[in-house]
Chains A and B, each alone.
Chain A
Amino acid sequence: MAKFSLYKWFKNVSIAHKLYSVVGIMAVLIAFELGTLYFAMNTLSSVRAFVGAEGLWSKSQKDAVYHLQQYSQTDSEEDLQAFYHFMKVPMGYHKTLSELNKTDLDLNVARQGLLEGRSHPDDTDGMIKLFRRFKDISYIHESINIWAEADATIAELMPIAEKLHAEINSPSPSQDKLDEIIQEIEPINQKLTLLEDDFSYTLGEGARWLENTILALLLAIALTVEFSGLILTYFVVRGISKGLKEIRSASKGIGKRDFSVRAKVFSNDEIGLLAKSFNDMTAELSDSIQKQLQSSQDLEAKTKFIEESERRIVRIMEALTKTTQFDFSEKLTISDRADELDVIAAGLNTMSEELEYHLKQLKQSEEKLNDAQHLAHIGSWEWNIVNNTIEWSDELYRIYGMSREDFEANYENYIECIHPDDREYVNNIIQKSYQDHQPFDFFHRLLLPNGDERTLHGRGEVFLNNEGEIIRMNGTAQDVTEEKEIEKKLNQYNIELETKNRDLESKTNFIQENEKRIVRIMEALIKTTQLDFSEKLTISDRGDELDAIAVGLNTMSEELEFHLQQVKESEEKLNVAQRLSKIGNWEWDMATNKVQWSDEMFNVHGYGDERFEVTFEKAMERVLPEDVERSNERMKINIENALQSFTENSSLEFEIDPVTYTLVLPDDSRKVVQGIGKIILNTDGLPTKMVGTVQDINEQYKVEKKLNQYTIELEIKNKELAQFAYAASHDLQEPLRTISNFSKLLANKLEPYDDKDMNQYMRLITGGANRMSKRIFDLLDYSTVGKNMSKLDTDCNLVLKDVLIDLSALIEESGAEINAEKLPITLCGDLQVVFQNLISNAIKFKKEGIPPVIDISASDTGKEFLFAFKDNGIGIEKEYNDRIFIIFQRLHTRTEYDGTGIGLSLCKKIVELHGGNIWVESEAGKGSTFYFTIPKN
């Protein structure tokens, strides 16, 4: 419990209350003083009354004594009566005194006594009170004692009076006796006189003491009143002036615009409250001044901001104008405010970038499409049936060996280009497709203007209008002459195109979203950049910057719409291309397990027009279970490899080797497809997604399978044949050898007999046996050549050098001159046999008497190296140019030129095993040039 402090209370009480308190205290003190005064007056009055009463008492006592003395002399009854009469006064006081000494005082008796003592009725109460109140005061006590003695003394007069009366009235009054009695009176009288004096004196002393006491009291009270009044006033005034002083000095501070000053609050009274209010007011004032200052600063900043914003809007507008003019050279600077204008600026930058990117992408996409077509040797065409116009892609012209200038693309001319044998077949298919509205897919041959033949894979389909009439046919033609290589490239390109396409799509989405965001942000400010192209911004007639932005955005929106349309069209084209080539593409987001399939993916997997959300599991649903298992294992390995590739080369993409697998369709039919893909990692090296293509290669697979089967069979047959050739030659050699060996022995034995015929027969037998043996060896060579041919990078110069060393004897003997240019290094098997045969042939078939000159050269024709061996020999008649390459074919008799006729056929076989050609250009007597080609890969 808080201690109650009067000081504190007084300090905090209101000034009015303070003043009331001061006046109250003064009033109480004055009242007390007045009370005291009244009491003193009363007391003094009572003293006076007692003094008066003493006077009366004394007079009555004196009169009574006198009359008693008179009575003794006069014996007059009157005097006696007078005595009694005067005695009544002391008796009255006696009554009062005896009553006063009683504890249970009867005021009426006491009062009666005083009245009988002839006191004034008004004084009676005061007299009684005085004695009762002050009986312990020494003076009063003394007085009472004196009174009581006097009272007892005067009472002695009564028996004297009676004795006197009895003497007087006795039948024989004796004067002596009377005198004796009278003598008794005097001492009493004297005693009484003394007592009376004492009483008056004592009472007078008491009165004086009282007077002094009361005076002192009154003086003290008066001083207290004065002093307390002074102190209170001082306190009040000090409190007020102190508070006021604080307020005044605070006001001065405020006058000097120092709003931090505060008046000190000393109390909770009006001054304190005033100080508080003053402080509140100062604080508020300070606040409001602060606010005013702030707002003026704000105003300044806002003005600056508005000016800056206007400048930025102008810049944005300029940028917009530039962007709409496809000038992407400048980008808007983005401030660090990150406000709406920055969002617009950033948006516009992005839009401009995207637009630029789109334009680039479109160009690239077109180029890629052309490139892809070119690479894949796929030409595309569109036959607009309504206008009967055919549009051919560049590649199609290339495939057909035509140029746009000299070939008018129409159906008749198209048919003209087709190989004569296939024309009817092609015409039938196209006519059938035209009638049945069904797509077509077939292979046919072309006959190019230069006489080359090409095989094309033609695919096409029919587009109908709403009435079901044909409006156009679209198709592709693929040069499948080198199908394997092309397929690979095409697949790669398709992946690239698909990835680009996907990228484009996602970028487009990004733009749309981004712009929509800007629109949302700026909706209240400017209703603009709504990528919903159905609505255009309304331009007010104010023509201010905002209108300019609106106009710019409208233009941009139109442009964007146009370009998006173009992108869509290009996408559609790609989709058509995908459908025709049966390639679908996919993208698997590993984090969400969502797989995106292109339309063709659904087709390839046999879902037709059915569409659903694809997950990894769903994507694998129709894959043959063994293949799923295989694929999962492969996936693990691929991811490991991708991680390794990331660790080693920090490559973010990892190409997966193509894989062939089987789909099981709901009707239990199977379809072979080929998948190509790559793993994409984020910069932390975590695989995030996979993208790839799946191509329906069922038809190719069937063909390949058959081909493989044939190849295997062929290999078996070849092996058997080689085995046969080897065994045959081996077995044939044995008897032949016996003939040869023993005919030689026989010839040796017969030599001495010198029989001309016999010796010739023997020579013929030996020679025949030897030739047969050599032919059998040659045949074996021929059948086994290239059996285990492994291709290595070979320096043909070194090959030639070795051959020349081997043939050095022959060259020296014939005096041949051999001129060789620098020959290439190429990937090949053993060309030594070819070089050797061509050189030795050139020396062998020299003109009589003319030393052979052989020029050896090679040239790079791009895909292959063309070797030429030119000689100055006897030449070959044109009609035999082909025949010389056939095994055992000879143009000359054995006697003219030695040889088995195997050399060139062996050369032909070796060159052809390399995928090259060998031929001769020659005329009889004019020398020959043997050419052969070795493809680079």
Chain B
Amino acid sequence: MRKKLNCILLVDDDPDDNFFHQIIINEMNMVNTIDIARNGIEALEYLQKENCIPPDIIFLDLNMPKMNGWEFLEKYKHLSKEQKAKALIIILTTSANPEHIEKAKEIEDVTGFETKPLTKEMLTKILQEHFQNYI
């Protein structure tokens, strides 16, 4: 039997979206823990926590209060290797603004760019591409 992912971190300020994405991910039965950060600051705090479960995937919204996705990525760049762990960062945002896509491509830490809502197809594709030993 294949392993489940350890943890997925949803970074998004929209509770509706977070709720929906949790349902979809849970339906896939692919992960042990789903954690939520409502903005960049919370996400950073989460990653820097001592007993943090290192997430396998971070779904990052761009448009957030306090610290938006871009600002988070800038800070994330300077985190230590342990803190960064082996997380995939996938931007998950409302609209595919071409400028944003271009900008995201230039950031090393970003693996993918998807538009909301998160679908089962998307998740399957991500698993196939990056987590072949998992469910």
Q: Check if B16 sits within 8 Å of A738, measured CB to CB.
A: yes
For residue A741, CB closer than 8 A to chain B, the reply is yes
Q: Check if B95 sits within 8 Å of A741, measured CB to CB.
A: no
Q: Check if A745 sits within 8 Å of B95, measured CB to CB.
A: no
Q: Check if A780 sits within 8 Å of B95, measured CB to CB.
A: yes
Q: Check if A737 sits within 8 Å of B95, measured CB to CB.
A: no
With CB as the reference atom, state the residue of chain A lying closest to B63. Answer: A730
Q: Which of B20, B63, B97, B116 contacts A742 (CB 8 A)?
A: B20
Q: Check if B20 sits within 8 Å of A730, measured CB to CB.
A: no
B8 CB to closest chain A CB (Å) equals 18
A residues in contact with B117, CB < 8 Å: 737, 740-741
A-B contact count (CB 8 A): 34
For residue A84, CB closer than 8 A to chain B, the reply is no
For residue A482, CB closer than 8 A to chain B, the reply is no
Interface of A, helix, strand, loop or mixed by DSSP: helix
B residues in contact with A730, CB < 8 Å: 63, 94-95
Docked Cα-Cα span, A733 to B92, in Å, equals 14
Restricting to A709-739, which residues have a CB under 8 Å from any CB of B?
A: 726, 729-730, 733-734, 737-738
B residues in contact with A741, CB < 8 Å: 16-17, 20, 117
Restricting to A176-195, which residues have a CB under 8 Å from any CB of B?
A: none
For residue B79, CB closer than 8 A to chain A, the reply is no
Docked Cα-Cα span, A633 to B17, in Å, equals 62
A residues in contact with B14, CB < 8 Å: 734
For residue B23, CB closer than 8 A to chain A, the reply is yes
A750 CB to closest chain B CB (Å) equals 15
For residue A440, CB closer than 8 A to chain B, the reply is no
Docked Cα-Cα span, A702 to B73, in Å, equals 48
Q: Check if A737 sits within 8 Å of B23, measured CB to CB.
A: no
Restricting to B89-135, which residues have a CB under 8 Å from any CB of A?
A: 94-95, 97-98, 116-117
**Taking A730-B94, A730-B95, A737-B116 as contacts, is the C-beta distance between A745 and B23 under 8 angstroms?**
yes
With CB as the reference atom, state the residue of chain B lying closest to A732. Answer: B94
With CB as the reference atom, state the residue of chain A lying closest to B21. Answer: A741
Docked Cα-Cα span, A780 to B17, in Å, equals 21
B residues in contact with A784, CB < 8 Å: 97-98
Docked Cα-Cα span, A737 to B116, in Å, equals 8
Q: Check if A737 sits within 8 Å of B17, measured CB to CB.
A: yes
B residues in contact with A738, CB < 8 Å: 16-17, 20
Docked Cα-Cα span, A734 to B115, in Å, equals 12
With CB as the reference atom, state the residue of chain B lying closest to A780. Answer: B95
For residue A777, CB closer than 8 A to chain B, the reply is yes
Write the residues of chain A forming the contact surface with B, with a CB cutoff of 8 angstroms: 726, 729-730, 733-734, 737-738, 740-742, 745, 777, 780, 784
8 A–B contacts from the bound complex (CB under 8 Å)? A730-B94, A733-B95, A733-B116, A734-B14, A737-B17, A742-B16, A742-B20, A784-B98
Write the residues of chain B forming the contact surface with A, with a CB cutoff of 8 angstroms: 14, 16-17, 20, 23, 63, 94-95, 97-98, 116-117
For the A-B complex with A742-B16, A745-B20 known, give 19 more contacts whose Cβ atoms are closer than 8 Å: A726-B95, A726-B97, A729-B95, A730-B95, A733-B95, A734-B14, A734-B17, A737-B16, A737-B17, A737-B94, A737-B116, A738-B17, A740-B117, A741-B17, A741-B20, A742-B20, A777-B95, A784-B97, A784-B98
Closest 10 CB pairs of A and B: A738-B16, A741-B20, A733-B94, A730-B94, A741-B117, A730-B95, A737-B117, A737-B116, A734-B14, A729-B95
